[in-house]
Each structure stands twice: as structure tokens, then as C-alpha cells.
Amino acid sequence: MFVYEASDETIQDPKQSFKINFYFAVLDTTLNSIKERFTPLKQHSEELKVVREIDVLKDWRDEDLMKQCKDLHLKLRDHQNKDSHDIDGLALFEELKAMQCFVRKESAPLDVLNYILYTKTI
């Protein structure tokens, strides 16, 4: 027998057996489930970055803002009908550029939406 090989010993201590056979299994399943659920959330958050980070809109370079708007346009289009889409990336870019002067640093996306509705910008 090699040095690194050893025969499996049965665990005699009930607490240790519970810990290894049940607790660690539940913990492993829970962690995998959390990772599985939060990975798409992280992806969606990254895809909606242009809207989510509205408070730093003034800091965005035009090229980066345009890229984010186009990426969001492509992500939200109907994959069966390529001509059908929920938003127009170019129009979103132009609207965000026009909003830059109204958005304060501490503004949350909900604050900006309320401002748009209150002033009847749309």
C-alpha cells in the first residue's frame, strides 16, 4: 500500500458523523444553490449597469456609454424576430446624454425615474 493511501475508517463519534454526513452535505448544497441563483443576478446587474449607475452618468465617456446602450439593445431584443426590440440603443444613448445635466451625484435610479415622471419629461 502506498503511503498516501489509507483504508477508510468508520466514524465512531455520533457528533462527528452528523457533522460529516449531514451538516457538511447540507452546507455544500446550500452554497451551490446560492451560487447558482446569484450568478444570473450578477449578469443582469452588469447588463443593466448603464441604468443602475445613473448617479455617475456624467463620468461616463461617450464611447463607453454608447457601447453599454448598444449592448443593452442587443440583449433585450427578440431573438426570434431580430427587428423586434424593447429599446433602441441609440435613442437610449441620446436620452441619457440629455439627462446628464439633470442627474446629481447622489441620485438613485428611482429618484431619476420620479424626476422624469414629475416633470413629465416623457
pLDDT at 111 over 90: no
The answer to the question of residue 82 being in a domain is yes
The answer to the question of residue 78 being in a domain is yes
The answer to the question of residue 86 being in a domain is yes
Find the angle CA(44)-CA(50)-CA(54) to the nearest 5 degrees. 120
The answer to the question of residue 2 being in a domain is no
The domain tally of the chain equals: 1
pLDDT of residue 64: 92
pTM above 0.75, yes or no: no
Cell of 89: 440603443
CB 96 within 8 Å of CB 47: no
Neighbours of 96 (CB within 10 A): 20
For 42, the domain range is 14-118
The answer to the question of residue 79 being in a domain is yes
User: Helical H runs in the chain?
Assistant: 14-18, 24-47, 49-52, 62-75, 89-99, 109-118
The answer to the question of residue 104 being in a domain is yes
Assign 121 a pLDDT band (cuts: 50, 70, 90).
Answer: low
The answer to the question of residue 9 being in a domain is no
The answer to the question of residue 1 being in a domain is no
Distances (CA, A) of 62 to 55, 82, 122: 16, 26, 23
The Cα–Cα gap between 116 and 102 comes to: 10
pLDDT 10s digits, 23-78 = 999 999 999 999 999 999 998 888 888 888 888 888 889 999 999 999 988 888 87
The Cα–Cα gap between 113 and 103 comes to: 11
The Cα–Cα gap between 103 and 112 comes to: 7
